[in-house]
Chains A and B, each alone.
Chain A
């Protein structure tokens, strides 16, 4: 299982690098999909098949489809890739890279000091365990997230609504 974890983690890293350095937006999205699927595989390797399946269904299967959907309609041509190339100049990415490098150092420090074997190869967590936790100790968080999503839904429905026909035509009565 450790081999599967490191292999899929490597794929996830390379694919994420492809997302950042690619100049064609649709190809970048393809890399992002691969990256999300390999993250799902790391979940499987860690013994969380339920989380892995949800990762593929929700992120790779639903959210990314919407991203691709939008980018497909933009009809980005050679101008867009020229702009992308301009953004890849060292002056732009050096600052963020240093910050990300610091985060990496912190992560490596914690990993090296902690017990890695305890994290990888643990017990398998199934859907029932996840559901029990979500609707037990974390019920409040779930309810808050549900309210947030409901608010987003109402907003989207309001923005997407057509104007009422009688008001738009100036009101004949």
Chain B
């Protein structure tokens, strides 16, 4: 086995690692669709889907079979190229963002020095999925949904970046591994509490989950930007939303709650438990909160969250400087 050199082994190992993480994320996104419905049921005093298999555990299989065998239809009035491109962007940008997340000390796809910026860039490009999807559908509801989502995402991305800068300033690096290591003694949620709150709000808004799901709002827009999509193209938007949820939960864990760090349990279990906790929080928010009016959402972003993040950054900077001198 002369060709099996240590370098080759390292390459094969990291490629396999990346594939495992990719598959795990997509599967987790798919499983979350069912878990969410069951949890919503539990919190709203009803059963949720419990007919397929024991305790409804095979619901996911039934959903997958249904969605794969639906007719894949492109409306004749749609702009075909963009219509096909949009779900791909939705899925790809979110999956690529998982590249930067360190899962355990040894696991993680890439160790990028610009870690957080890479996530922000991917979140920025992710907007086009909804924009192009809504425009290419050539339908009123889809267009209104796309307009809403672009305005909402742009507004909330502004302070999403700013809310993370406190963490970056405390660590002195954009690299997520460094950020996790800097939280050895104290999780960043304590010194950066306002950063955490605003990032959480911005994260929900950017993945357009309830209560920031105006772009989809079933009651007024009949599902908004993906109304004309069917079969797996719709499936990609749908799973993409849950992948986004997993991504934001994993990022909150990494940035504010010490990532894999914790006593007794192995690192991976800590990471998984913390991420699962925030996934539950996402679902609980959907179960508990009503949807605010669209203009209120925009005002809340610009008039409440943006000033809070700016003040937070200012105070953080002052404290760091005072400590250094």
Contact = CB atoms under 8 A, between A and B. Distances in A.
Nearest to B81: A27
A41 to B, nearest CB: 12
A54 to B, nearest CB: 7
A11 interface: no
A126 B131 contact: no
Interface in B89-137: 112-114, 117-118, 120-121, 123-125, 127-128, 131-132, 134-135
A9 interface: no
Contacts of A127: 114, 117, 174
A19 interface: no
Nearest to B174: A127
B245 to A, nearest CB: 20
A61 interface: yes
B146 interface: yes
Q: Size class of A's contact patch?
A: 20 to 34
Query: What is the size category of the interface that chain B forms with chain A?
Result: 20 to 34
A62 B157 contact: yes
Nearest to A49: B114
Contacts of A52: 114
A50 B118 CA distance: 10
Interface stretch (A64-72, A106-114, A137-145): A64-72
Contacts of B114: 49-50, 52-53, 127
A42 to B, nearest CB: 15
B287 interface: no
B117 A62 contact: no
B39 interface: no
A52 B117 CA distance: 10
B143 interface: yes
B147 interface: yes
Contacts of A50: 114, 117
Given A62-B124, A72-B146, 20 more contacts: A26-B79, A26-B82, A26-B132, A27-B81, A30-B82, A49-B112, A49-B113, A50-B117, A53-B114, A57-B117, A57-B120, A60-B124, A65-B127, A65-B154, A68-B131, A68-B132, A68-B135, A72-B134, A72-B135, A73-B147
